Amino acid sequence: MRMKNVWAALLAGSSLSLAACGGASEEVVEIAPEGVPGINVENGRLVLPPVAGNPAAVYFDLTYDGERALTIRRADVAGAESAMLHDYGEYDGKVQMMEALPIGIRKGDKLKFEPGSKHVMTFGLPEETSPGDLIEVTLTVSGGDKYTFEATAQAAGDER
């Protein structure tokens, strides 16, 4: 008889604990969005090379409203063998394209990555890349945070 009372008490206790669990609300945990707070990129476009096998270029408009100063230190293009931040500068008395130094950004900055200026040079795109394709571009800033955006592939002769 005593054993039946023990089992009955255990069963009743477990039912109460299950009922208590069911009524508890789950705690919602917010996950911070991926990316770099304050960076916004618009008008992303990847201009395909006029000759297959040559490098392509990525252009875009970047605004920054973050609180702390950063530097853009790297760019990657999905599917490409490699990508490199480029800019124009004077060397040996001539203005020429070269690998860019890390690009500093501060609150309120608006940068245009455009022909004849800063851009992402892209090497070894897959041959099947064609106008209209969306290509992921990732910028890495100081500290290792990353910001990814999409660039629309366009033919070499299209308006940039």
What CATH number does residue 85 fall under? 2.60.40.1890
For residue 82 the two structure tokens come to 């490699």
Q: Residue 8 domain-assigned?
A: no
pLDDT at position 34 is 62
Each residue's pLDDT expressed in tens, for the chain with a length of 160 residues: 444 544 444 445 544 444 444 454 555 544 444 689 999 999 999 999 999 889 999 999 999 999 999 999 999 999 999 999 999 988 889 999 999 999 999 999 999 999 999 999 999 999 999 999 999 999 999 999 999 999 999 999 887 6
Q: Residue 145 domain-assigned?
A: yes
Q: Residue 105 domain-assigned?
A: yes
For residue 51 the two structure tokens come to 């000759």
Q: Residue 142 domain-assigned?
A: yes
pLDDT at position 31 is 42
Q: Residue 121 domain-assigned?
A: yes
Q: What is the 3-state secondary structure (H, E, C) of 52-116?
A: CCCCEEEEEEEEECCCCCEEEEEEEECCCCEEEEEEEEEECCEEEEEECCCEEECCCCEEEECCC
| Number of domains, the chain | 1
Q: What pTM was estimated for this model as a whole?
A: 0.77
DSSP 50: S
Q: Residue 160 domain-assigned?
A: no
Q: Residue 134 domain-assigned?
A: yes
What is the rounded end-to-end Cα distance, in angstroms, of the chain?
88
Q: Report the C-alpha dihedral over residues 149, 62, 123, 142, rounded to 10 degrees.
A: -90
Q: Is the CA virtual torsion 39, 40, 43, 44 positive or negative?
A: positive
Distance, in Å, from the CA atom of 137 to the CA atom of 158, rounded to the nearest integer, reads: 20
Domain of 131 in residue numbering reads as 39-154
Q: Residue 33 domain-assigned?
A: no
pLDDT at position 160 is 67
